[in-house]
Chains A and B, each alone.
Chain A
Amino acid sequence: MKLKDDFKKWLSYDLDLDEEPTMPEPIEFDDEAPEITIWHRLRQQGAHRKLYYVVAVICSAVLAFTLILTVSGMPRYGEDAEFMDTVTYEYLAHGMEYTGAVNIVSGIILEYRAFDTLGESFVLFCAVTCVLVLLRLDDEADSSAPSYHDLTHDIVLRRTARAIIPLIFVFGIYVLLNGHLSPGGGFSGGAVLGAGIILLSSAYGEEASGKFVTERTFRIVTTSALLFYCVGKSYTFYTGANGIETFIGNGRPGDILSAGLILPLNVAVGLVVACTMYGIYRMFKERRF
């Protein structure tokens, strides 16, 4: 009878079965008291919380054990070469000849597997778009809020930055432009450049870094670099799949102007990476450009 009544109530929404999800009580951490260890904290928590920790540890241990077992059962490095390493040998044997890049890695990521790298650049683009969406404050927000880590008065940082920033930029540009000749390329060179701009910004404030990157330049550079990448590689994909000869030659391997589209693509990727790094830094620091 009770069940029947309850069912009728449920049908007419008088019975509330749903429990609102509640957040667990925040645990009060007392950083002042050094004698409280993790065990003390554990003891203060509820039983299901303890069970959670135990299960988590067991799961991680099982997963770690399985993975170690797996790796120990994997083919050893260098063995079974004729079965496994067909692709690797092809890249090493003909990579330079077919792509024109002395640095085989650049040849692989920007010619053989260029579609993946196109995707990777869009992962970065997607990440910076998400950070903008999440952190950006619109104009109505208080623009005079103090920033947390204002280091522009730190004399050590300023002097060091003054000495090494030019070196960082030169090195970054070198890595970027020589990506097809020596270890490096768009991602690493762009990361070096981005780090340089971040250092400049934290040592001398945004007036200094603004000479390199403002929101406007950020937009223009990212958009045009990605569009160039998109269009340039689409041309290669299209001609490649349809068996059309391209006018882009490979040049003489070892020259700075060689390896077809790899050099301009490295520059494009590098600019996207540098701008993305700086953009994410600015968003986390001040939530605006």
Chain B
Amino acid sequence: MSFIENLPFLSVVLFLFAAVVCSVLKPKAARIFTTAVEAVVIAFSVATLLYTRGTGTFFRYNMGHFDAPWSNQLRAGVLDALAAFTFSSVLLLSHIGGIRYAKIDIEPKKQNSYCTLLNLIGAALMALSYTNDLFTGYVFLEILTLSSCGILVIRRQGRTTLSAARYMVINLLGSGLFLLGVSLFYGTTGHLLMEYIKTGVETLDATGEYQIPLTVTIGLVSSGLAIKAGLFPFHTWMPDTYGTATPTSSAVLSGIVSKGYIFLLIKIMYRVAGTGTVAMTAARHILYVFGMAGIIMGSFWAIKSKYLNRMIAYSSAAQIGYIFVGIGLGGEAGFRAAMFQLIAHAFTKPLLFLAGARLSESSGDSLLFSDLQGAAHRNRAAGAAFAVGAFSMVGIPTLAGFSTKLYFAVAAIEHGTLVDFATLGVLAVSTLLNALYFMRTVIRIYTPSPAPTPLPTFEPSPDKSDPGLVCAVGFAAGILFLGLFPGTVSSLIISGLSMFG
């Protein structure tokens, strides 16, 4: 067995280890240690990705001295490694991009706790990427939920506690439904390892036994994860949480935490319930309808927003809708579009939040659009970064959003029924709406503010160590790569999906 097959397991354990160590370190040491661990895990993910791509197959990793199905197991293929790479690199970039604000927003004695929580989020996301066991999925889902509440409430300002409570209630509803689903899966099939459940589900689906429990189980699992991911109409926590948290938290939550739930859902569709079983097909169609509604309603609310952060947050609701539309369309093309959107959005949204925070800082800490006029001239780098993210959201060619929309169109046309017209129509309307509110914002921040400005002009931070530019360049490189070489990522996703089930 190659040593590389240990890397998925080491990614999880390294994050857990770092979480414990950070709880007793001094803030600065904790920050450096966390950054180092995140970088190491990125390297691990890349190695796993290249290894599985090279061998052309997945590998299993038993957690202990017992074979399947007796013990927990990890399983890594191209898609799992790709997800792990996306999650770890976005985590690192969001972390270093928001350090500047974390230092201000968080009380000094809690700085190391923040690093602990970020490490726990990393561990949970790695575990969700690689796990082959449904209950392990639930355990780390809980860690993800709790630690994301932690990174929300750590900033004591305004409505953070209220919004975190709201976030928690909706998330726990999702967790509860998911846990019910997992236990019903165990009750009907007697297994917790994904492939073994699938064998049971397929047997039951063929014989028609236990049809009601099976349908309800699949419904519970899908709706639980969709609620946690923030699918319309369960997106109502987004504007408050993303709007009030410290920028790193907003970036991490919108960029990767909700994606972790969706990735687990896709994994369950392929590896547990089977995409083609009757109940799963029905569940996917329901998700599709809500996804479509989410795309339109999210954009609608984004247009109405008066604050920059709330607008970006509502746009998240729309973008999550896209992923579920891809899942609903189904087939290789549909899931490819969903995965591509998952990765593209993970790189784009954090960039918007972090650049938005800097634009707001240069405008007297105001998030009101009316105060943001000319912000891009006060902080040129942030303005450019925001423009890149916004253009990608709109779908300008050479950027990630364009490739996403292209793959969605392909998936819709391949479907070949009335559905494709509906999807294409929603796609077109949504692109128009995206263009409306994002271009309006870009124009706004590039319009020089009428002199003499009452707002303080941007002064370079006295703290020279702000690595915001590194982070912006990293995100922009990701967006450009996805836009210029969509074929590379797409072929990875396709080969990953083929070894996913």
Do A and B make up one complex?
Answer: yes
From A24-32, A70-78, A201-209, the one touching the partner chain is A70-78
Residues of A contacting B142 with CB < 8 Å? 119, 123
Whether A116 contacts B150 in the complex (CB less than 8 A), given A13-B444, A67-B216, A125-B19, comes out as: no
Is B72 a contact partner of A113 (Cβ separation < 8 A)? yes
CB distance from A228 to the nearest CB of B (A): 10
Q: Interface stretch among A49-57, A130-138, A174-182, A187-195?
A: A130-138
- Size bin of chain B's contact surface: 35 or more
Neighbouring B residues of A118 by C-beta, 8 Å: 16
Contact B136 A119 (CB under 8 A): yes
CB distance from A51 to the nearest CB of B (A): 15
Residues B110 and A227 in contact, CB atoms below 8 Å apart: no
For residue A230, which residues in chain B have a CB less than 8 angstroms away from its CB?
13, 16-17, 20
B143 and A122 form a contact (CB under 8 A):
yes
Contacts of B188 in A (CB 8 A): 74-75, 84
Q: Do A241 and B61 form a contact, CB below 8 Å, given A70-B213, A74-B184, A129-B116?
A: yes
Majority secondary structure, B binding face:
helix
Residues of the A chain whose Cβ atoms lie less than 8 Å from the Cβ of B24: 219, 223
CB <8 Å contact, A219 and B6: no
Partner of A83, one of B143, B180, B190: B190
Q: Which B residues are CB-close (under 8 A) to A74?
A: 184, 187-188, 210, 213
| Interface 1/0 per residue, B137-160 and A, CB below 8 Å | 001101100110110011000000
Please measure, in the bound complex, the distance between the C-alpha atom of A13 and the C-alpha atom of B143, giving whole angstroms. Answer: 41
Q: By the criterion CB–CB under 8 Å, are A119 and B143 in contact? A: yes
Please determine whether A87 and B191 come into contact, CB atoms closer than 8 angstroms: yes
B72 CB to closest chain A CB (Å) equals 4
Residues of A within 8 A of B189 (CB): 84
Which one, A147-155, A165-173, A232-240, is touching chain B?
A232-240
B213 & A73 in contact (Cβ 8 Å cutoff): yes
CB neighbors of A among B140-186 (8 A): 140, 142-143, 146-147, 149-150, 153-154, 161, 180, 184
Q: Kindly state whether residue A66 has any CB partner on chain B within 8 Å.
A: yes
A240 touches B150 (CB 8 A): no
For A75, list chain B residues within 8 Å (CB).
187-188, 210
Are B304 and A234 within 8 A (Cβ)? no
Question: Hey, which chain A residues are within 8 Å of B66, CB to CB?
Answer: 98, 111-112, 240
Q: A199 within 8 Å of B by Cβ?
A: no
Output the residue of A73, A91, A98 with the most chain B CB within 10 A: A73
Segment 89-135 of B: residues with Cβ below 8 Å from A: 107-110, 113-114, 116-117, 120, 123, 127, 133, 135
Within 8 A of B (CB), among A1-45: 11, 13, 16-18, 21
Find chain B residues with CB under 8 A from A243 CB: 1
A130 contacts B17, CB within 8 Å?
no
Inter-subunit contact B127/A119 (CB<8 Å): yes
Q: Does A255 contact B (CB under 8 A)?
A: no
- The interface bits of chain A over 83-117 (1 if a CB of B lies within 8 angstroms of the residue's CB, else 0) are 11111101100000010000000000001111110
- The interface residues of chain A lying within 8 Å CB-to-CB of B307 are 18
In the bound complex, how far is the Cα of B305 from the Cα of A111, in angstroms?
53
- A85-B190, A88-B190 known; A122 and B13 CB under 8 Å? no
A127 at the binding interface (Cβ < 8 Å): yes
> A23 — nearest CB in chain B belongs to which residue?
B162
Whether A123 pairs with B184 at a CB distance below 8 angstroms is: no
| A-B contact list, 25 entries, CB within 8 Å | A11-B440, A16-B306, A71-B213, A75-B187, A84-B188, A84-B189, A84-B190, A86-B69, A86-B191, A87-B69, A87-B70, A87-B190, A88-B190, A91-B70, A112-B64, A113-B71, A123-B142, A126-B146, A130-B153, A134-B153, A223-B21, A227-B17, A227-B21, A241-B5, A242-B1
Sorted nearest first, the 7 A-B pairs with minimum C-beta distance are: A84-B190, A119-B139, A18-B306, A115-B72, A240-B65, A130-B150, A115-B63
B: residues with CB less than 8 A from A are: 1, 5-6, 9, 13, 16-17, 19-21, 23-24, 61-66, 69-72, 107-110, 113-114, 116-117, 120, 123, 127, 133, 135-136, 139-140, 142-143, 146-147, 149-150, 153-154, 161, 180, 184, 187-192, 200, 203, 210-213, 216-217, 240, 303-307, 310, 369-370, 440, 444
